[in-house]
């Protein structure tokens, strides 16, 4: 039998013993699992960045994927499990961080609220559901416990929405949004790559990006940084299925004063 | 047979190749082990912080737990193994970092000094016993080598004491000590949670914390940050069995000028 | 059968989801592998530092070792596999980072260029060959795919040279080079330890280090930091088979203004 894969994502920072404790809890329940870190360097409480990282689960094997970016822990927010059409189980808070990932994995097949105390670690910390609720659920699922046993089924329409939607083509432009600014100051936009062909953009086409306050940036649509000179802006497919706006060897975010969450309207020049 | 668990804790910082080398050495000896990182972001040479992190081994499965916070490496300090009543083996320097963990795991059952060169990696680096002494010992124990084979038994009274003791109730107050200041400036105190009920403290009781130099801070005893306003101090159980003094969305350490190691006397108001 | 070991080294920084994605790809192909991080904190694009870290593969079990320090990704640089005499497979870009490691593992036995698209992950990102080319190759090798199937054999003389050679003894001096400055400001030199006995240096001998611009530093040859006073320079064997020049509790690099890549001529005093 293939060893199950459990992945962990959080905003704890990699220097936290909380990650080690979550791995210990997972392996105590599911000792043959491969437990891997997907990402622990998410900005604190940044649901948009967390959602985008969870989308990259598509590069992992079908498995049990936990997200602990959870500003609402200790409040009434629900703990949930989503089964995807690809066969994964996504486990985390019902705050939208799992929704976009579920879509990239074929869509939600079933969702339940985790309420059965039998499947939690006790005492349940009021502020660390990662260790006491989410990871035990993922590990137990990997051992064969059925999703129905964790609690009541939820309709998808009841779940908290994703922190961002998909870019659309309207008014002769791509209507997009910045969903992440990475450590290099590069913007990640909510544009999946098929949007570009639908909008009729080819390599080296020149585009105009307009941000709030009418800041306009002109940039070519290219494949890689080296396609423009040092210090020049560019827009290109990123490594994980979306689009990035960057400056070759520079910071787009700092140079043009753009932050995560801003709208970006893109037109052909 | 269940796969053995080996955990690694150090002050190397996560960006160090030393961690990868220790994992390689462990897996070379014990290829079926689950080797996990508990924590590598401990402040350099901070025995108190290391001791507190090792206490969280109780959240891991029974296993082989190595601590490499070792300012005395290269001197006459001993290398030791402690077998706990829970069944774990703790491996590291005899500088106190393993003692409090052993207590949280049921107590020390047996301790030996590691002196048998047969069970070390050669040449033994004078400054990296983690790789050449501690990790080989943990991995060999996980493969069935008996603790007695590593060297002479030590009496517990011979071992270097823990860097902190337990808080006590005396003179109408809890006599405690700051054992860690975390990255948010929150203080961790050496108060296990049963002390609070023994001292008769209930939720929302107001307490007065007195630090050296007579600095006094008033704070309620609560469950979570959200129980006080932003910028307000609080005192509450932490996630790992002790107590923290924090400011909601602020730094207790900076605001009140408190450092790790300071005494803290707590009275009811 | 022993579980295969796959190690990952990069300049991504540990907070990157790219590492998690590479692990996922590896485990999808080779689910029984132990996939470990050797080091992800290498300075961006620093081939010399990467080469030195890859040398420490000798502390890992015989396995499949991937290096993703790859400033030339997206250009014509080759992707390669080297089989070492010890039995390891080194996988990465043909930019010199694997050469010194191969030498420490007994030498190159065979090298091939990776060109067979059947063994890549598609679509191949133009900027992330770690995930789409190198890791799939390592994982497939661990599952028994033969090195010949990946592409044409390369002669060693065709491969890009290592970023540094070995120190030599000439003109009554050791002619060496700084190959890394670590986070403490300690210099790592390209001097393997046998050079010292060949040059006739014994413990506590006083040496003179001369850097470009005729900066001269006098330091004893010792075993460990504690052999000199605080603030004093020293030169000693490092933990991984080379030599370091350091200041006890200080930064050699800052104090004397020395950078990675500089020449260092060492004479007896």
Identify the pLDDT of residue C225. 86
B128 touches chain C (CB under 8 A): yes
The answer to whether position A163 is within a domain reads: no
Domain assignment present for A241: yes
Instruction: Give the pLDDT score at B71.
Output: 87
C15-19 contacts: CB < 8 A, separation 24 or more?
C15/A13, C15/A14, C15/A39, C15/A40, C15/A41, C15/A183, C16/A39, C16/A41, C16/C40, C17/A38, C17/A39, C17/A53, C17/A56, C17/A240, C18/A239, C18/C128, C18/C130, C18/C131, C19/A37
Name all chains with 3 or more CB-CB pairs below 8 Å to chain B: A, C
Chain C partners within 8 Å of A13 (Cβ): 15
Is there a domain that residue B61 lies in?
Answer: yes
Answer yes or no: is A12 within a domain.
yes
Establish whether the linkage from the previous residue to A123 is cis, with ω within 30° of 0.
yes
d(CA B125, CA A146): 51
Is B188 in the same domain as B104? no
Assigned domain for A191 exists: yes
Residue with structure tokens 């060897």?
A249
Query: For residues B178 and B259, is the Cβ–Cβ distance under 8 A?
Result: yes
Contacts of A53 in chain C (CB under 8 A): 17
B239, A28: Cβ pair inside 8 Å?
no
CA A156 to chain centre: 18
DSSP state letters, C188-255: EES--THHHHHTT--TT-EEEEEEGGG-EEEEEB-SSGGGS-TT-EEEEE-TTSSEEEEETTB-HHHH
Q: Is residue B163 part of a domain?
A: no
One domain for residues C146 and C193: no
Residue C163 maps to a domain: no
| CB spacing of C25 vs A59 below 8 angstroms | yes
Same domain, A133 and A18: yes
Main-chain phi, psi angles of A248, to 5 degrees: -60, 115
Do A228 and A134 share a structural domain? no
CA distance C167 to C163: 13
Last residue of a domain, one of A158, A184, A217: A158
- Percentages helix, strand, coil for chain A (3-state, rounded to 5) are 25, 30, 45
Residue of chain B whose Cα is closest to the Cα of A130: B239
Residues of B in contact with A23 (CB under 8 A): 36-37, 60
Q: How far apart are CA B120 and CA B25, in angstroms?
A: 11
Q: What is the CATH classification number for the domain harbouring B120?
A: 3.40.50.10790
Which of A14, A34, A56 faces C21 most closely, judged by CB atoms? Answer: A56
Separation of alpha carbons A126 and A133, rounded Å? 10
- A29 and A120 in a common domain: yes
Residue A212 in contact with partner chain B when CB distance is under 8 A: no
Q: How far is CA B157 from CA B72, B88, B160, B161, C31, in A?
A: 20, 20, 8, 8, 47
Do residue B17 and residue C53 have CB atoms under 8 angstroms apart?
Answer: yes
**C74 or A3: which carries more pLDDT confidence?**
A3
pLDDT at C176 over 80: yes
Mean pLDDT, chain A, integer: 95
What is the DSSP secondary-structure string of chain B?
-PPPEEEEEESS-TT-HHHHHHHHHHHHH-TT-EEEEEE--PPTT-HHHHHHHHHGGGGSPS-EEEEE--TTTTTTPPEEEEEETTS-EEEEESSSTTHHHHHHTT-EEEEEE---GGGS-SSPPTT-HIIIIIHHHHHHHHTT--GGGGS-B--GGGSPPPSS---EEETTEEEEEEEEE-TTSPEEES--THHHHHTT--TT-EEEEEEGGG-EEEEEB-SSGGGS-TT-EEEEE-TTSSEEEEETTB-HHHHHT--TT-EEEEEE-
Q: Is B124 on the interface with C (CB under 8 A)?
A: no
Q: Decide if A250 touches C, using CB distance below 8 A.
A: no
Same-domain status, C146 and C57: yes
C14 and A CB contact within 8 Å:
yes
Query: Which chain A residues are within 8 Å of B239, Cβ to Cβ?
Result: 18, 125, 127-128, 131
Distance from CA of B128 to the nearest CA of C (A): 7
pLDDT at C2 (0 to 100)? 84
Residue C155 pLDDT greater than 80, yes or no? yes
Cβ contact (<8 Å) for C59 and B128? no
The nearest CA of chain C is from the CA of B49 a distance in Å of 21
Test C15 with A56 for CB contact under 8 angstroms. no
Using the predicted structure, report yes or no on whether residue A205 has a pLDDT greater than 80.
yes
pLDDT at residue A217 tops 90: yes
The complex's ipTM?
0.92
Are C91 and C222 in the same domain? Answer: no
Distance in angstroms between the alpha carbons of the first and the last residue of chain B: 55
C14 and C101 in a single domain? The answer is yes
Best mutation target among B11, B24, B136 (most C Cβ atoms within 10 Å) is B24
Return the higher-pLDDT residue of C136 and C226.
Answer: C136
Domain boundary among B158, B184, B212: B158
Q: How large a percentage of chain A has pLDDT more than 90?
A: 88
CATH number of the domain at C248, please.
2.40.30.90
- Give yes or no: residues C229 and C173 share one domain: yes
Do C11 and C132 lie in one domain? The reply is yes
Cβ distance of B14 and C41 shorter than 8 Å: yes
> If pLDDT is split at 50, 70 and 90, which confidence band does C66 have?
very high
Closest CA to B86 of B114, B65, B113, B112: B65
Q: Is A44 on the interface with B (CB under 8 A)?
A: no
**CA-to-CA separations, B154 to B78, B79, B81, B128, B141, in angstroms, rounded:** 11, 11, 10, 23, 18
pLDDT of residue A1: 64
Do A151 and A172 have their domain in common?
Answer: no
Residue B177 forms part of a structural domain: yes
Residues of chain A in contact with residue B86, where contact means CB-CB under 8 angstroms, are none
- Domain count along chain B: 2
Judge whether residue C13 has pLDDT over 90.
no
pLDDT at residue A188, rounded to an integer: 97
Residue A134 · residue A119 · CB < 8 Å: no
Residues of chain B with pLDDT under 70: 1
Give how far Cα B187 sits from Cα of A20, B58, B165, B252, C248, Å: 21, 21, 16, 7, 31
Cβ-Cβ contacts under 8 Å, A34 against chain C: 27, 31, 35
* Inter-chain residue contact B36 with A21, CB threshold 8 Å: no
Three-state DSSP state, A100: helix
SS3 A7: strand
Q: Both C25 and C146 in a single domain?
A: yes
Please give the residue range of the domain that contains residue B209.
168-268
| Residues of chain C by 3-state class (helix, strand, coil), percent to 5 | 25, 30, 45
Domain boundary among C126, C158, C190: C158
């Amino acid at each position: 039998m293939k060893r199950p894969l459990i992945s962990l994502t959080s905003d704890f920072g990699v220097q936290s013993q909380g990650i080690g404790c979550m791995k210990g809890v997972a392996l105590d329940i599911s000792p043959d699992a491969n437990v891997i870190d997907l990402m622990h360097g998410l900005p604190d409480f940044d649901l948009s960045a967390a959602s985008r990282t969870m989308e990259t689960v598509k590069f992992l094997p079908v498995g049990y994927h936990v997200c602990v970016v959870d500003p609402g822990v200790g409040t009434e927010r629900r703990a949930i499990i989503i089964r995807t059409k690809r066969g994964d189980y996504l486990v985390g808070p019902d705050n939208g961080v799992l929704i976009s990932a579920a879509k990239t994995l074929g869509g939600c097949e079933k969702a339940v609220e985790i309420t059965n105390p039998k499947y939690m670690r006790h005492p349940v910390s009021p502020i660390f559901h990662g260790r006491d609720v989410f990871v035990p659920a993922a590990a137990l699922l990997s051992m064969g416990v059925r999703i129905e046993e964790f609690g009541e089924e939820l309709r998808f329409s009841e779940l908290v929405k994703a922190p961002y939607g998909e870019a659309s083509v309207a008014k002769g432009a791509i209507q997009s949004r910045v969903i992440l600014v990475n450590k290099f100051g590069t913007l990640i936009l909510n544009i999946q790559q098929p949007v570009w062909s639908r909008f009729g953009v080819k390599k080296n086409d020149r585009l105009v990006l307009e941000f709030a306050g009418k800041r306009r940036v002109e940039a070519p649509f290219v494949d890689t940084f080296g396609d423009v000179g040092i210090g020049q802006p560019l827009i290109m497919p990123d490594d994980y299925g979306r689009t990035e706006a960057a400056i070759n060897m520079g910071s787009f975010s700092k140079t043009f004063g753009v932050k995560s969450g801003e709208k970006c309207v893109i037109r052909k020049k």
